[in-house]
Amino acid sequence: MKTIITYGTYDLFHYGHVRLFQRLKAMGDKLIVGVSTDEFNALKGKAAFFNYQQRAEMVAACKYVDVVIPETHWQQKPQDIVALDVDIFGMGDDWQGKFDYLGTLCQVIYLGRTEAISTTEIKTNLAIPQTRGNLATTLLVK
């Protein structure tokens, strides 16, 4: 059995997250997703709209995800890889090179982000009054 792991905040869950999970799951049999806890996000200087429990619930509901674990600190990744018998560690290419050191434990891959969608973009667009049309349609047209 081939096991894949990824990590993130996954706030304002969107189709970019789903596509990431779909692509990762296609590489193996079991997809584990580490969801950053509220406390860890605070250490990273990030604030999520949804709390950890809500974000973990949304991620767990995705059909591509087999297991959700809490991500509580930067140093847990090597421990998780060994303890969970991970074959592939996958992240978005915005993290390119940052986790290459894990290559001694498993295969490390960086996947391209889904075009025209990000949580940051959603938050930004929600703050801008829309003059007409559906916000999702506006985002897709960009």
> Going from the N-terminus, what domains does the chain have, and what CATH number goes with each?
3-127 (3.40.50.620)
pLDDT digits (tens, 9 = 90+) for 28-84: 999 999 999 999 999 999 888 899 999 999 999 999 999 999 999 999 999 999 999
Could you say which of 25, 30, 46, 123 is catalytic? Answer: 46
Residue 44 among the catalytic residues: yes
82: phi then psi, degrees, rounded to nearest 5? -70, -50
pLDDT of 113 reads 79
Task: Please check whether residue 17 is in contact with residue 111, taking contact to mean a CB–CB distance below 8 angstroms.
Answer: no
DSSP 38: H
Could you say which of 44, 63, 77, 142 is catalytic? Answer: 44
Residue 46 among the catalytic residues: yes
Banded pLDDT at 141 (limits 50, 70, 90): very low
CB atoms within 10 A of CB 15: 13
Which pTM does this prediction carry? 0.82
pLDDT of 48 reads 87
